[in-house]
Amino acid sequence: MRIALLAASAASLLAIHPVHAADLAATAAALRDKALKDSTAWDVTESLTTEVGARPQGSPGMDRARDWGVAKLNSLGFENVHVETFEAVSWMRGAESAEVVSPYPQKLQILGLGRSTPTPAGGLEAEIALFKTLDEMLAQPPGALKGKIAVVTQKTRKTQDIKGYAAAVRARSSGGAEAAKRGAVAYLVRSISTDDTRLPHTGGGGVSGIPTAALSTPDADLLERMVARGKPVRIKLAMASTQRDKAPGYNVVGEIRGREKPEEIVVIGGHLDSWDAGTGAVDDAAGIAITTAAAKLIADLPQRPRRTVRVVMWGAEEQGGSGPAYAEAHKGEVGNIIVAGESDLGAGEIFNAKLPQGSLGHPAMKAFAAAILPLNTIISSEPAKNGGSDIAGLQQLGVPVTEFQQDAGRYFDLHHSADDTLDKVDPKELAQNVAVWAAFVYTVADSDIDFRKAAGQ
């Protein structure tokens, strides 16, 4: 009886979704094989990091990245290539330095956090109050840190996924504001990083009203050892920065128009902006390259897919603004956006694919699963919950999302630091990403799958 019911269910699915599943699977597999040999993603990553380099929101580098994105999409044959302009905060770093002045004078390696307040001219000097976890600092009452530089040295655990980072990042994002509430004059945090180099990692620090900066991981350890010796430790900190609350930002868009239902859209992409310390190779030139190359492979098929594939290079993910701006600009077409996905975890291999709720049994997703089986990518039984920062706005409006989990074992050694450079990208791992994305996007774009119906919406 169970076998008969399963057979009837499969027949029903095929009747509801008139897709030639075998052809869909065969084409997805062919795309996979071609992606593993294709150099487009590497060429795009190399081009962006070499010809533009660092590209913080609101900087001349971001202006160059905008023009690069338009030229690149046009050269690859995308249609409807255009720029969507919005306004967002632009925080720009100036000169920075930190040093222990007593009892053991030494230089420290720091990077200011986004939205940090500059120090007074000439810097500031104060005794530090060191805490090995953020929770230890949060246990301090208001006023307990008056006149001191608060230091949190909490470590980030290395994990294959983002769980280690997610558990540690609040020390960076909210620590400064919490330190200020307790009277601190500045805040230093151990880089939210899994590396052991003396290269600090920047990132968004939130609005706190005091200078905030990330310490290199060895320097965080150094301060712990100094404090353990029992003498007061004093630091001199000098930081300059500028901030514009309304600077122009850019989302760069290109499409592969669908042959039958061009109004139905699959939205994919990565973020074009980066922090300033490195050249933004893993964060996120790789994501731009992966999704652009996947769409290009689909465009080169003898026949375009039924639906439109839209690639978006979001322009202000790091400092915030591009995702909400995109959702606002496209809220009128949300009902026609079939699914959205963002690649923003470097170029490590995709080991797990989370799909929209209720879609695992659809012939298109079965074709996708069959195509990626040789890539050592598992189809998760858990539905996608977080597709990425830049598609969170679309997700809130009801757009289904996909979530491809990459091996992040090395990603948090690199991102937001001077070590985020092209040589850290593995071409074979990059190609594996393209293969997974191309197979997924094609099976969605050339089928009639409706993720909202599958989820019972």
Q: Give me 57's structure tokens.
A: 């929101």
Same domain as 208, residue 114: yes
Active site residue 79: no
Q: Which token pair is 407?
A: 């091996």
Residues 280 and 403 in one domain: yes
CA distance 353 to 342: 13
Residue 456: pLDDT band (50, 70, 90) is confident
Q: What is the pLDDT of residues 231-256, one digit of tens each?
A: 999 999 999 999 999 999 999 999 99
Task: For residues 140 and 183, state if they share a domain.
Answer: yes
Give start and end residues of each alpha helix (H) in 278-382. Answer: 286-299, 322-329, 363-372
User: What is the pLDDT at residue 11?
Assistant: 38
Q: How far apart are CA 317 and CA 271, in angstroms?
A: 6
Whether 117 is covered by a domain: the verdict is yes
In 3D space, the residue among 115, 109, 118, 62 whose CA is nearest the CA of residue 89 turns out to be 115
Q: Is the peptide bond before 103 cis (omega within 30 degrees of 0)?
A: yes
Same-domain status, 53 and 156: no
In a domain, 29, yes or no: yes
Tell me, yes or no, whether 440 and 321 share the same domain.
Answer: yes
CA distances from 14 to 4, 9, 20, 228 (A): 15, 9, 9, 68
Whether the predicted pLDDT of 182 surpasses 90: yes
For 281-333, write each residue's pLDDT tens digit.
Answer: 999 999 999 999 999 999 999 999 999 999 999 999 999 999 999 999 999 99
Ranges of beta strands (E only) in 62-217 are 79-102, 106-108, 110-112, 124-131, 149-152, 186-190, 212-215
Checking if the pLDDT of 228 tops 60, the result is yes
Q: Both 109 and 82 in a single domain?
A: no
Point out the domain boundary residue: 232, 255, 287: 232
In a domain, 95, yes or no: no
pLDDT at 455: 76
Q: Tell me the pLDDT band of 22, cut-offs 50, 70 and 90.
A: confident
* One domain, residues 70 and 143: no
The pLDDT of residue 454 is 79
**From 96, 317, 349, 403, the catalytic residue:** 317
Residue 319 CA from chain centroid, whole number: 12
For position 190, which CATH number holds?
3.50.30.30
Q: What is the mean pLDDT of residues 31-49?
A: 98
Answer whether residue 282 is part of any domain.
Answer: yes
Confidence of residue 69 (pLDDT cuts 50, 70, 90): very high
**Residues 335, 211 within the same domain:** no
Residues facing 124 on adjacent strands: 237
240 lies in some domain: no
Q: What pLDDT score does 457 carry?
A: 65
| Same domain, yes or no: 73 and 151 | no
Residue 9 lies in a domain: no
Domain C-terminal end among 175, 206, 232: 232
> CA-CA distance, 185 to 69, in Å (whole number)?
41
What is the model's pLDDT at position 21?
75
Whether 447 has a pLDDT exceeding 70, the answer reads yes
Helix (H, G, I), strand (E, B) or coil at 236: strand
For residues 273 and 418, membership in a common domain is answered with yes
* 154 and 60 in a common domain: no
Percent of the chain surpassing pLDDT 70: 95
Alpha-carbon span 108 to 7, nearest angstrom: 67
Among 232, 259, 294, where does a domain finish?
232
pLDDT band of residue 168 (cuts 50, 70, 90) is very high
82: domain CATH number is 3.40.630.10
Look up residue 281 and give its DSSP letter.
Answer: I
Q: Is the pLDDT of residue 339 over 60?
A: yes
Residue 3 belongs to some domain of the structure: no
**Residues 397-420 pLDDT 10s:** 999 999 999 999 999 999 999 999
Instruction: Provide the domain count of the chain.
Output: 2
- Residue 6 resides in a domain: no
pLDDT at 256: 98
Domain membership of residue 327 as a residue range:
14-89+246-454
- pLDDT tens figures, 89-145: 999 999 999 999 999 999 999 999 999 999 999 999 999 999 999 999 999 999 999
Q: Say whether both 373 and 429 belong to one domain.
A: yes
